[in-house]
Amino acid sequence: MEQHYKFTLMDLPYAYDALEPYLTEEVVKIHHTRHHQAYVNNLNEALTPYPQYQGWTLEQLVTRYQELPLSISAKVRNNAGGVNNHNLYFLGMAPPKERIEAPQLLLAIEEGYGTFEDFTAVFLKEAADVFGSGYCWLVGDPRAKAGLRIVTTPNQDTVLPMGLFPLFTVDVWEHAYYLQYLNKRPEYLKNWFYLINWERANIIFVNYQRQRYSRGL
Ligand code: MN3
């Protein structure tokens, strides 16, 4: 998030074939090297003529794009959002493990949603119901029950301007799954769920709770 122009493509913390069989090597590789890379390239291209904004971090660009000149604000919104969202999507996955190790987060999920199975059903339905292209997120939200909320965003919009704290997100653009699942988004989502990096989500959640209490929220 501290990175600024000139942005570079984030390395994945796993091999392209590490998410098989749920996501094939081909799907992950094309998504990363072509789609994710294109957002990086387009963001750099937008900022090249504007040295005064080249010190802005990705977080500043996705939360303050409205302050930019009209000639680039939409392009920055879409492409800084695209870089940010793909970073979070890829970091939010990991090769599947036998057990979910996320004690604090699992407790909060049960408090907020009853059971883990109920949470799973709600999340998968929200993600399946995103109209067109977008993302479904699990976020920390101090106003929500147990501090957790499921939200969806259209296009490449992020949850950061809403003051929410992303734990993980799933990309429901067709390019994320079409090569493997064709038009069967619910099947992609069911399999993506096995790839959630629960350990990372738990670390972010614990950190979020700590900040929340220290700010009296
Ligand atoms: Mn994508």
**Residue range 48-75, pLDDT digits in tens:** 999 999 999 999 999 999 999 999 999 9
> How is residue 160 written in tokens?
């950061």
Contact status, residue 127 vs residue 189, Cβ threshold 8 Å: yes
What percent of the chain has pLDDT above 70?
Answer: 99
Average of per-residue pLDDT across 143-171: 95
Q: In whole angstroms, how far apart are CA 49 and each of 58, 82, 138, 162, 216?
A: 17, 20, 36, 29, 42
Q: Output the pLDDT for position 213.
A: 77
| Residue in the structure block whose two tokens are 């570079």 | 8
Q: Output the pLDDT for position 91.
A: 98
pLDDT, averaged across the chain: 96
The residue type of 116 is: F
Torsion angles phi and psi, residue 171, rounded to 5 = -80, 120
Q: Output the pLDDT for position 98.
A: 87
Report the candidate in 97, 115, 118 with the shortest Cα–Cα distance to residue 201.
97
pLDDT grade for 200, boundaries at 50, 70 and 90: very high
Report the candidate in 89, 15, 76 with the shortest Cα–Cα distance to residue 40.
76
Average of per-residue pLDDT across 206-212: 90
Distance 142 CA to ligand 1 centre (A): 28
C-alpha angle 144-150-153 in degrees, rounded to nearest 5 = 120
Q: Output the pLDDT for position 211.
A: 86
Q: Report the sign of the C-alpha dihedral through residues 117, 119, 122, 128, in that order.
A: negative
pLDDT grade for 1, boundaries at 50, 70 and 90: low
- State the CB neighbour count (10 A cutoff) for residue 167: 24
pLDDT value at 212 more than 70: yes
Distance 171 CA to ligand 1 centre (A): 6
Residues bordering ligand 1, an ion, CB closer than 5 Å: 35, 171, 173, 176
pLDDT value at 199 more than 80: yes
What percent of the chain has pLDDT above 90?
Answer: 91
Measured CA to CA, the distance from residue 40 to residue 29 in angstroms comes to 16
pLDDT value at 217 more than 70: no
pLDDT value at 140 more than 90: yes
Distance 111 CA to ligand 1 centre (A): 31
Average of per-residue pLDDT across 106-130: 97
Q: Report the sign of the C-alpha dihedral through residues 90, 15, 3, 198, in that order.
A: positive
pLDDT value at 173 more than 90: yes
> Model pTM?
0.96
Q: Output the pLDDT for position 25.
A: 98
CB-neighbour burial class of residue 51 (10 A; exposed 0-12, middle 13-18, buried 19+): exposed
Distance 36 CA to ligand 1 centre (A): 7
> How is residue 70 written in tokens?
């009209």
- State the CB neighbour count (10 A cutoff) for residue 185: 20
Report the candidate in 36, 27, 18, 21 with the shortest Cα–Cα distance to residue 190.
21
Distance 28 CA to ligand 1 centre (A): 10
